[in-house]
Amino acid sequence: MTATVTPAQARNLPKLGGFSLGMLALEFRRLIRNKRTVIFTFVMPAAFFLIFGTSSEYKHEQLANGNVSGYIMVSMAVYGAMLATTSGGAMVSIERAAGWSRQLRLTPLKPAAYIAIKLVLAMAIGAVAVVVVNVVGMLAGAELTTGPWLACAVLSWVCALVFAAFGLFMGYLLPSENVMQILGPVLGILGFAGGLFVPVDQFGSVFAAIAKFTPVYGVGEIARYPLTHSEHLWQAILNVLAWTTVFAIGAIWRFRRDTARV
């Protein structure tokens, strides 16, 4: 016999499957209480900019819409957004290990709402990471004209969605409470390979060709486009779309396998 939902039961079901500002606020507080996450995602990219992007030579060397320090600042903002969005998505691994995900399945919270909350949370902390790096850059000598500066900051944040999907995928794939200790070096290697720390045109021909197929390359090229007017914009857009699709499909696949066990 098919079960029916009475009007009283329907009224008790959460709106939007449980997606709410209260749930987002709770998840955000849980995340920022992790001191390693705060240092790793908010402090380290800004520190890298201060170390590598503030020499007098870089401040005086001009590009089309700013200086080289501004170029490095945008790259570090992308790196910060990468770290933040990946860690926000990968938190599901810690929750699975602690049994929090299993507890949530006993509540009316819908799986789609849970995934949406994780994505919004990842993008929220990604925005904070971008703002931190840009404020430090503004105070430390980075120069961009106003329009390109705002455009670079927004693109650094929006394109980091690919790494929010990556974090979710890895969070469901890696059964580890120390998932970011695994992903941190991986993101560092991807950052180097994708041209965040060293421009791709300074690579040899083989490594430059390989770099264009990494997920970091597309994000970096798009984020810096208002400053550099790169000729490879469409290639970068296709790169971001392809990797976002791959990671999103992977996250959905692992999520379904994970929920099928319960």
**What is the number of domains present in the chain?**
1
Q: What is the model's pTM?
A: 0.84
- Within-domain flag for 216: yes
Residue 9 pLDDT class (50, 70, 90 cuts): very low
Distance (Å, rounded) from C-alpha 252 to C-alpha 254? 6
Contact 156, 74 (CB under 8 A): yes
pLDDT tens digits for range 51-80: 988 888 888 888 878 889 999 999 999 999
- Within-domain flag for 85: yes
- Within-domain flag for 2: no
**Phi and psi (nearest 5°) for 63?**
-115, -170
- Within-domain flag for 10: no
- Within-domain flag for 204: yes
**Average pLDDT, stretch 167-183?**
78
**42, 209, 249 from 202: Cα distances, Å:** 28, 12, 33
Q: Give the structural domain span for 118.
A: 18-260
- Within-domain flag for 83: yes
Residue 235 pLDDT class (50, 70, 90 cuts): very high
Give me the sign of the Cα torsion angle 262, 246, 45, 227: negative
